Structure 1
């Protein structure tokens, strides 16, 4: 086997090296849809291009035929690999099962057999000879019937794949329109070159310029991946988002960059798609700090979250879901924004009804307590005073003096009991008990009543009085409700309560490891859960704070409340 140099080698070698480099880049992104298939596509292209270079520099016909046969390993792999790449990039990778892949490879396998046995039949090619009329010696041949069958099959796969990728990428908004143009150029260029070669219209007479055209594919693909982050953006199909939804929808990729945003979300954020697509979602959500923080805490997590925020004249609900890909891999996040002002009004009406019902129950309890305690004391005093009056009439002054001293003790005890009862009714702490001490007492009660192991974490410095007396009272009631819910409904083994101070807020977090629930079903919870959550939200709102509820089945529940320090709501304290 002899070889000779020809300058026509250079573009084929450059194309082969470029395709190999592309394969390395694609392999580094193999966890993303379509990346593994692209790796095989570029490896097949490299084999095809480098094999063609060896064919050109070979001298004997037999050597050229050998390298031509070797090239067919790449030639027959390219259409199937490109088809698989297109399925992955357009979100249809689940179609590429083992069975379907084997079916796609039947035609390439038959073609390989036809190529290597072409000396015994004329189905693939015949009348093979060496053409030395041009600047470089080439194989001249006539094509047999199986070649045209294979060509029809490969062009069908190439056409379907190119159409699918083009349709999918042209749907991207904003700066990623450049990405779609690169993908289109990379897909169409080698396809057009193949048509020119087979039809005999190649600009380089007799030379198959298809591998050279794949140099454009390599450059376009490298730019799409390295400059426009092809595999970071495209796995999410924008067609899954309904453009005319009333809810705002923002889709991010795994790294938190915005992939797509529908018109409703653009209205909520006051920003256009051209401005935000490709940017950091945290920047877009910056006007709602609590929502931005909730999004950052969920990065890389499969959990869901929900919170409501008052924004000027509207009341917004934010929900966060993981965007799952093949094998439950996390591709990014879906953020839904909904105006829930009407629902908030309905909730307020329900809370008001619940408050009225609670007031009626409190009146009934108060009447019973008055009958059982105060009335009984007054009846006892009446009997004893009448007895003292009778003794006084009989001039039994010593006995009367003893009765009066006893009655004074009864009145003092009754007065202390009444004061304690009134403090309990209005939720006022005893003067000698500070806020943290009350929390410790609450958790001891939860431990003894429900058998839960509790942990309380407080700042090193004193947190007493930072939100005022009314703020401490409401904050205590929120923590009490959350802890009671965990004990009564969550089947939790552990309960953690923590306080955190910042310059502007005091934050309380109540978290358990119980059975959890779907936050979307909050309104359907029983009164002890749903309305209790509503009351907690109302207490937080009353202090100008925010309450966030996060839970999922099997993942426990977290209630997080932030209250401003000495806000205008506490100025009266």
Structure 2
């Protein structure tokens, strides 16, 4: 055996294969932290050795040297197929199966074939003989056909893994299709070349088996950025995100969907893609599809009924190309079921606390008003009884007249308290509507003129129900004080909106009082304490302005949006 070599035009196909495998090997090794990249780089290394052996076989001038290099490049064929199979399995998202144990099992057939080739002179299971025609032609033994069958078995595993990926991820279908075409065409050419005694020259054989496949792999890697870690990270985020994601075209049809969305709709992606989004959503979802435009009129939907109901917030985003042209829409569904239930539980707890606080206030008011009145009536009734027994009607009649007046006042107080409580019990409660209704009742019941002044732009629902009920109770307390203590004949309620607050003033034409008395009599004016407590709960404040003979004004600062 001599080591003489000569140039031949047949070298070019093999050298192209060498260059392409070197380039792809370096490219993938630089991205070896990406799943599948390391296996692909190792596969490119084995394919490069295969192509180098083929090049040297073509260039060798001696028959025995050609046989040597033919055996050399044959050594790397099964290792190449095995490494690329690991790449396809990892790329398809099945890398969890490539455990150390399974990798050892995969390497056993490659090592076995490698050993049989090295020791072929002793058993001739791989090659039975060699002939020199235009190039070396080998007669294959049973071992070669078994190894070819094993390689095609690995090809079926690759086919299954890639088809599974294509079904589960529509964005991977084009790169999968290209890589499958490269793999199937390369294997088909290899089998045909083996069956028909090398219909291709060695250079042509390595080009169609390695060069063609590598070219298609390169197109998939670069054009679709298969091994791009940024793109892969984005893909993983989309595939693993808990929010449902649907890509819609300009006509409102679903063109892509992530696994979370398939779970939300409880349907496979294949049955959802191509369907109109309005067909898949509830009739009241608020998604309006118009020619060339999609809009949301609601931002929350519910799917299911009763305890099985699930709530989702909706988000709609334009998808634009680099020139700013609209391509479609991205619809996100965020599960808010647990958040909603937690909020409802919190509201229930707040209602319980508010109910207990209201009971405490009512108990205090009953003690301070009705309780004291009944105590007074009891004492005066006993005095009137004593005078009546003594026959002194002159002193009995005035006491009874006063008792009648006190009873009427107590009755009026009870009626007002009942109406005040009922003012917040309507199912469709609106603050301004309830206030108007209460002022009408106040005027009718106590013959006190009322006036309500509102800005034209003030919304009927300026205050949410929780805040509105608290403010309503404070206004009722102010009006009660104007009637009972101020002797008012007219009250005026004025609203002004400024800087995120509603300023409410309640003024009367009553007798007024000296504000210094409030400081001296701390603890006796439970109504004023109650008003301040209510306003503090909602983040507001209350100011009381009064002078003897000039009436009283109560000013409330109420934050909007609390």
TM-score (norm 1): 0.51
Question: Out of 355, 367, 390, which is 1:360 matched to?
Answer: 355
TM-superposition CA deviations, 1:474-494 (whole Å, max 9, x none): 2xxxxxxxxxxxxxxxxxxxx
**Structure 1 unaligned residues grouped into runs of 5+:** 237-250, 278-308, 321-333, 383-404, 433-467, 475-573
Give the structure 2 partner of residue 315 of structure 1: 300
Verify the 8 A CA contact 1:45 1:211 in the aligned structure 2.
Answer: no
Corresponding residue for 1:101?
103
1:82 to 78, 81, 84: 84
- Structure 1 match to 2:413: none
Q: Which runs of 5+ in 2 are unaligned?
A: 259-286, 288-294, 302-311, 316-329, 378-513, 544-556
Superposition deviation, residue 208 in structure 1? 6.5
Query: Is the partner of 1:186 in helix, strand or coil?
Result: helix
Distance 2:242 2:228 in 1: 16
Say yes or no: does 1:33 pair with 2:35.
Answer: yes
Change (3 A) 1:361 1:126: same
| Structure 1 segment 283-362 matched on structure 2, within 5 A | 312-313=297-298, 315-316=300-301, 317-318=312-313, 337=333, 357-362=352-357
Q: Per-residue deviation at 1:425?
A: 2.0
Distance in 2 (CA, whole Å) between partners of 1:202 and 1:262 is: 55
Tell me which residue corresponds to 2:216.
Answer: 220
Cα offset, 1:127, TM superposition: 2.2
Q: What is the alpha-carbon distance in structure 2 between the residues aligned to residue 149 and residue 111 of structure 1?
A: 9
Q: Which of 169, 190, 194 is residue 194 of structure 1 equivalent to? A: 190
Residue 162 of structure 1 pairs with residue 159 of structure 2: yes
Cα distance change of structure 1 residues 201 and 149 upon mapping to structure 2, 3 Å threshold: closer
Tell me if 1:184 matches 2:180.
Answer: yes
Q: 1:101 to 1:340 in 2, by over 3 A?
A: closer
- Within 2, Cα distance between the matches of 1:260 and 1:368? 54
CA distance in 2, matches of 1:196, 1:231: 32
State the Cα RMSD in Å: 4.8
Per the alignment, residue 413 of structure 1 pairs with 522
Structure 1 position 151 matched with structure 2 position 148: yes
Query: Does the aligned pair in 1 maintain the 2:540–2:559 contact within 8 Å?
Result: no
Q: Which structure 2 residues correspond to residues 101-500 of structure 1 after superposition, within 5 A?
A: 101-131=103-133, 134=134, 138-169=135-166, 172-173=169-170, 176-200=172-196, 202-204=198-200, 209-231=205-227, 253=235, 265=246, 271-274=252-255, 312-313=297-298, 315-316=300-301, 317-318=312-313, 337=333, 357-370=352-365, 412-414=521-523, 418-426=527-535, 427=537, 428-430=539-541, 469-471=558-560, 474=562
CA drift of 1:196 comes to 1.4
2:17, 2:51 within 8 Å by CA — same for their partners in 1? yes
Aligned positions, number: 349
1:178, distance to aligned residue in structure 2 (A): 3.0
Tell me the SS of whatever aligns to 2:137.
strand
Q: Distance in 1 between matches of 2:249 and 2:348?
A: 32
Contact 1:47 1:74 in 2 (8 A): yes
Q: Which has the larger radius of gyration?
A: 2
Residues of 1 paired with 2:158 and 2:518: CA distance? 95
C-alpha deviation, 1:150, in angstroms: 1.8
Counterpart-to-counterpart distance in 2, 1:273 and 1:226? 27
Hey, what does 1:91 align to over in structure 2?
Answer: 93
- CA drift of 1:93 comes to 1.0
State the distance in 2 between where 1:214 and 1:369 align.
93
Post-superposition offset of 1:14: 0.6
Tell me how far apart the structure 2 counterparts of residues 414 and 377 of structure 1 sit (CA, whole Å): 16
What's the CA shift for 1:99? 1.2
8 Å contact 1:79–1:155 — kept in the other structure?
no
1:490-541 CA-to-partner distances (Å, cap 9, x unmatched) read: xxxxxxxxxxxxxxxxxxxxxxxxxxxxxxxxxxxxxxxxxxxxxxxxxxxx
1:5 pairs, out of 4, 7, 26, with 7
* Per-residue deviation, 1:190: 1.2
Higher relative contact order (CA 8 A, sep 6+): 1
Aligned partners of 1:268, 1:380: CA distance in 2, in Å?
Answer: 78
Contact kept in structure 1, 2:117 and 2:126, CA below 8 Å:
yes
Q: Is the 8 A contact 1:233 1:253 kept in 2?
A: no
State the alpha-carbon separation in 1 of the partners of residues 298 and 230 from structure 2: 37
Question: How big is the shift at 1:62?
Answer: 2.6
Question: What aligned pairs does 1:519-558 form with structure 2 within 5 A after superposition?
Answer: none
Distance of aligned partners of 1:13 and 1:416 in 2 relative to their CA distance in 1, 3 Å threshold: farther
User: How far off is 1:70 after superposition?
Assistant: 2.3
SS in 2 for 1:230: coil
DSSP-derived class of the 2:175 partner: helix
Q: TM-score, normalized by length of structure 2?
A: 0.52
